[in-house]
Amino acid sequence: MDHWIERAEKVIERCREIACFTDEPGHITRTFLSPATREVHAYLRRWMEELGLAVRVDAAGNLRGLRAGLNPHDPILYLGSHIDTVPHAGAFDGVLGVVMAIALVEALENRGVRFGIEVLAFSEEEGVRFGVPFLGSRALAGTAAELLSLADAQGLTVADAVREFGLDPARLPEAAMSGSVLGYLEFHIEQGPVLESLDLPLGIVESIAGQSRFEMVFEGRANHAGTTPVALRRDALAGAAEWISRVEREACTTPDLRATVGSLDVQPGASNVIPGRVCATLDVRHTSDEVRHRAITTLLDSATQVAERRGLEVTWAQRLDQPATPMHPTMIAAMERAVARAGFPVHRMASGAGHDAMIMAAKCPAAMLFVRSPGGLSHHPEETVLPEDVAAALAAGFRFLEEVEALGA
């Protein structure tokens, strides 16, 4: 394992170097096709080209590096993850999967395999800038063109952002995967506490929870906080707060349901004014689509009930409805053999977070391997990984490449 530890330490070092490329000095913040994205591209491109990969940037801003197989028409195995972040992020969410993918290609050295490997550094997964996630992987799935008209907070559309980056949105269809594809593998930090609680370095993802996102608007009437009796108020924030407590209660009483109100915009936002309008987000996740949809119905009905009783109006718009996504059985089995051959315990688990793998799985066999998150911490500056866990993932990943080659033999 010593050589894998050395590679793991280098992977971690590279992730921390990439963390310095940020939109916001003093924090790790990197959004879709921002100037920091260009810096990450330059950093990764140098490394990929040193390894002999043919590197390009597609019309969605995905950086792609191809290692050809032994024959020109060999099928492709995709390896990758995303390089964008949430605001004030850690150094490993997404980026670890990209760096590990390149490190695996490096570990192959001059060894030929009977498939091509294309490393994917997806330009966007988090949904921060345009409110809809997976712009990068949707391009490979052929479903990104419908999102070109989405606008960010400054009124710029996805198409505008693509042009500003020096790319042509009209060429987006060329980014879609084509030809013979073996599958897709994504390494990712777990972003939760399960592996740590089990004292395990790795987890094989068997399914990714479906998720729905809504924008909720509670409308009341702004008025003077000192002169309006409480019983006569139409307080949008009080109504939203009551509804939020119901969201929490639904999540607590439905096994394995995740329901979150992560953002509030209170207007007019003055200490001496009763809030007249509140915009809230709702994020609902479950590995069962039936359970998720049933919970959504309950929560939206609850919002209506709260609004009617308080003299408010409530409206909502759905921004995402991503079904639960199983990973491919053949790929799961190959990863189980790989982990066992590498000398580590085999543990299957579900992912509560969304990943590019759920988009890729609609088009090709997909697999994910989780790496333990110390403290269960992610989307936080103190997010980290252990060298021995990264080494375990690299060793298992190398065995996985061998398993995939054997499947095509």
- Tens digits of per-residue pLDDT, 175-200? 999 999 999 999 999 999 999 999 99
pLDDT at 372: 98
Q: Which of 81, 89, 99 shows the shortest CA–CA distance to 29?
A: 89
Choose one of 322, 352, 373: the last residue of a domain.
322
What's the CA gap between 311 and 55, in Å, rounded? 58
Query: Is 339 in contact with 118 (CB distance < 8 Å)?
Result: no
> Do residues 312 and 336 share a domain?
no
> Do residues 177 and 97 share a domain?
yes
pLDDT at 2: 77
> Do residues 205 and 215 share a domain?
no
The phi, psi pair for 320, rounded to 5°, reads -155, 135
> Do residues 158 and 17 share a domain?
yes
From first to last of the 409 residues of the chain, give the pLDDT tens digit.
678 999 999 999 999 999 999 999 999 999 999 999 999 999 999 999 999 999 999 999 999 999 999 988 899 999 999 999 999 999 999 999 999 999 999 999 989 999 999 999 999 999 999 988 999 999 999 999 999 999 999 999 999 999 999 999 999 999 999 999 999 999 999 999 999 999 999 999 999 999 999 999 999 999 999 999 999 999 999 999 999 999 999 999 999 999 999 999 999 999 999 999 999 999 999 999 999 999 999 999 999 999 999 999 999 999 889 899 999 999 999 999 999 999 999 999 999 998 999 999 999 999 999 999 999 999 999 999 999 999 999 999 999 999 999 886 5
CATH number at residue 228: 3.30.70.360
> Do residues 29 and 175 share a domain?
yes
Report CA-CA distances (Å) from 296 to 254, 284, 286, 325, 398. Answer: 12, 7, 11, 18, 41
> Do residues 54 and 40 share a domain?
yes
> Do residues 251 and 188 share a domain?
no
> Do residues 178 and 267 share a domain?
no
Report CA-CA distances (Å) from 24 to 29, 108, 310, 378. Answer: 6, 36, 41, 19
> Do residues 132 and 20 share a domain?
yes
> Do residues 250 and 351 share a domain?
no
Number of CB atoms found within 10 A of residue 252's CB: 10
Choose one of 295, 322, 349: the last residue of a domain.
322
Show the domain range for 217: 210-322
Q: Domain tally for the chain?
A: 2
What's the CA gap between 58 and 255, in Å, rounded? 41
Indicate the pairing of strand 202-208 with strand 223-224: unpaired
The phi, psi pair for 358, rounded to 5°, reads -75, -25
Q: Which of 389, 388, 386, 343 shows the shortest CA–CA distance to 369?
A: 389
> Do residues 218 and 338 share a domain?
no
Choose one of 322, 343, 369: the last residue of a domain.
322
> Do residues 277 and 358 share a domain?
no
Burial environment of residue 273 by CB neighbours within 10 A (0 to 12, 13 to 18, 19 or more):
middle
CATH number at residue 333: 3.40.630.10
